[in-house]
């Protein structure tokens, strides 16, 4: 039995996971990230203890505790070096949480926890190498090579969202211009759709926007599925951008699998089919087997399952 | 003692290399690539034999023969699956060369041989992970992770030159638009410089172009070093493009070292210093150690040295 915790900007999810990757108990609490780090980490510790209580588990029955965290980590030292989400600087996450539960604690980037979860129990089962691209507010990246999590020599790798798609293009939160994230995140989809809706006042997109005050990824897809030409045009461009970034990943890394995560992965083949078509056409080597491209299967559970199994894959 | 052969579109270089990575004998012959593959491979075999002759070596004194080849390879099968340079399709390179020298034969992408050479005996000695970016007619890529050559699940990885810098930009030979190669190759440098020279008839660039009929990487650098504003402007943009691609590599892979190869690497700090400055400014994680960025040290020898040691690093 293991405990995995996914620390997010909005909520913290903890789960008890068995050796077959089943979640036996799960609980989500609000992060309230403006609080001091000690208060947040105390809540994470108490979350773990309450999950054990729920299943009547003793501390000896827990193999380890794994934590997926945003930011830049020193995973060997158990430290969050820096997180812009939390404004954390050199927080001893492992040291502090060990006050609550005296078991080995492992720390890893949240995106890497998600790719590990999908590789153990989701879309990338049985695969040696996989790159996960998570489309959300930003674009996250997780990489497994040779069945191990990849982090680079300084543990700061996998920032796939911040590779250039259009150098000199849209201003990115990272300070550069034209990053993949600026074109393939859900934020970007909404920006592109709102611009397009402005130009086409009789479009369904424009109608949704007026009705709801803003567009969402979901209603852009809904409008396209109902045949709205404006939404179809937006998604055609959006799928192309996603495919451009995936083609880049494939040309450089050729992983066995590419997994697309985030809420949009629920769109399944509607999202995947046009992306696969672009990739097949654009990839550099057309004479070899292509990586499989699929949607994440575990949703929010990927992070806690991956976190629970960090012990074996770092 | 080992033999390394670097098969290029213009010439074939072979060398006998000792266990300390010293080249004991080296010879270059023209490829004449329009010939049948059997004739080219026969020349490669005879080249190996003539090098052994030169040093009075018996076949038993040769540990192995390694070949760096362009194209898409099945290195386990010893096959060149496809090379557009040679119009080769499923050529049994290992089988054919084994008729000339009965020692174990190893095959690898030429860019990976170069990065292996630099990692064993050149700019990336002692480093666990290195990405080499070779600026030439195109932009080549070689990757070593965890001291092993990286090739992806289908042996088609490392095509760093064909990742997007400006999606929808310059038409690339690979069929996409806006690849890194379209902006960072020497071909691209010359294109940018010729466009700029056209606009500034009193520039040194324009003068060189009129005098020599065309520009070269070398005279563009020469003009800039003499203070020609037009050449300085061109190089400013060119260095930015190179840095954009290197920043992308660093954000995703965070290798310990990035090595820049190709003829321009002779420009040393004049090339490296502005690139390092851009990278430091643009890289996603500024709170961690940055990969060292340096120029290749072995020139054309990197490929044969790397090829000679494929046995241990594939």
Q: How far is B77 from chain A (nearest CA, A)?
A: 14
How much is the pTM?
A: 0.95
pLDDT at A287: 86
Rounded to a whole number of angstroms, the distance from the CA of A27 to the nearest CA of chain B is: 32
Q: How confident is the model at residue B122 (pLDDT cuts 50, 70, 90)?
A: very high
Q: Which of A306, A313, A255 is nearest to A283 (CA)?
A: A255
Compute the mean pLDDT over every residue in chain A, rounded to the nearest whole number: 95
pLDDT band at residue A86 using 50, 70 and 90 as cut-offs: confident
Each residue of B144-189: pLDDT tens digit?
999 999 999 999 999 999 999 999 999 998 899 999 999 999 999 9
- Contact between B8 and B31 under an 8 Å Cβ cutoff? The reply is yes
Residues of chain A above pLDDT 90, percent:
92
Whole-angstrom distance, CA of residue A13 vs CA of residue A299:
12
Record: contact B159-A256, CB cut-off 8 A: no
Tell me the backbone φ, ψ of residue A188, rounded to 5 degrees. -70, -40
Please state, in angstroms and as integers, the Cα–Cα distance from residue A271 to each residue in A114, A183, A308, B134, B208, following that order. Answer: 20, 15, 30, 36, 52
Q: Where residue B82 falls among pLDDT bands split at 50, 70, 90?
A: confident
Burial (CB < 10 A; 0-12, 13-18, 19+), residue B211, is exposed
Structure tokens given for B30: 């023209």
B272 near A CB under 8 A: no
Q: Return all residues near B254 (Cβ < 8 A) that are at least 6 apart.
A: A151, A152, A153, A154, A155, A156, A157, B288, B291
Q: Which residues 2-61 on chain B approach chain A with CB closer than 8 angstroms?
A: none
The shortest CB-CB distance from B166 to any of A160, A166, A290 is to A166
Q: Do A163 and B241 touch (CB under 8 A)?
A: no
What value of ipTM does the predicted structure carry?
0.95
In angstroms, the separation between the Cα of residue A134 and the nearest Cα of chain B is 14
Query: For residues B76 and B159, what is the distance between their CA atoms, to the nearest angstrom?
Result: 19
- DSSP-assigned beta bridge partners for residue A259: A132, A294
- Contact check, Cβ <8 Å, B175/A282: yes
> Of B175, B252, B287, which is closest to A160 when you measure between CB atoms?
B252
Residues 110-169 of B with CB under 8 A from A: 128-129, 141, 143, 145, 150-160, 162-168
Does B143 score more than 80 pLDDT? yes
Phi-psi bin for B203: left (phi > 0), alpha (psi -120 to 50), beta?
beta
Read off φ and ψ for residue B193, nearest 5 degrees.
-65, -40
Distance CA(B30)–CA(B44), nearest Å, equals 10
A256 CB burial (10 A radius; 0-12, 13-18, 19+): buried
Q: Cβ separation of B284 and A145 shorter than 8 Å?
A: no
Q: Is the pLDDT assigned to residue B49 strictly greater than 90?
A: yes
Identify any residues that bridge with A164 across adjacent strands, giving them in sequence order: A179
CA-based nearest residue to A306, from A154, A142, A157, A159: A142
């Amino acid at each position: 039995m293991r405990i995995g915790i996914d620390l997010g900007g909005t909520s913290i999810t903890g789960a008890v996971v068995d050796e077959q990757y089943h979640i036996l108990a799960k609980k989500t609490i609000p992060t309230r990230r403006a609080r001091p780090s000690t208060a947040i980490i105390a809540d994470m510790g108490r979350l773990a203890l309450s999950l054990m209580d729920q299943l009547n588990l003793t501390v000896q029955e827990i193999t380890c505790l794994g934590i997926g965290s945003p930011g830049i980590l020193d995973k060997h030292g158990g430290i969050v070096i820096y997180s812009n989400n939390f404004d954390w600087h050199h927080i001893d996450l492992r040291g502090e949480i060990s006050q609550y539960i005296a078991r080995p604690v492992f720390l890893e980037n949240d995106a890497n926890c998600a790719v590990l979860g999908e590789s153990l129990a989701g879309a990338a089962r049985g695969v040696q190498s996989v790159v996960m691209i998570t489309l959300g507010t930003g674009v996250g990246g997780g990489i497994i090579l040779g069945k191990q999590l990849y982090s680079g020599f300084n543990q700061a790798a996998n920032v796939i969202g911040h590779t250039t798609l259009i150098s000199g293009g849209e201003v990115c939160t990272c300070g550069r211009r034209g990053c993949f994230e600026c074109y393939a995140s859900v934020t970007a989809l909404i920006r592109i759709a709102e611009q397009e809706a402005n130009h086409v006042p009789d479009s369904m997109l424009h109608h949704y926007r007026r009705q709801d005050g803003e567009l969402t990824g979901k209603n852009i897809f809904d409008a396209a599925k109902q045949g709205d030409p404006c939404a179809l045009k937006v998604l055609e461009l959006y799928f192309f951008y996603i495919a451009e970034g995936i083609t880049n990943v494939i040309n450089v890394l050729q992983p066995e699998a590419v997994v697309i995560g985030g809420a949009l992965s629920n769109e399944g083949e509607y999202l995947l089919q046009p992306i696969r078509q672009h990739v097949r056409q654009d990839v550099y080597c057309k004479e070899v087997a292509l990586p499989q491209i699929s949607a994440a299967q575990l949703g929010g559970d990927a992070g806690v399952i991956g976190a629970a199994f960090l012990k074996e894959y770092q």
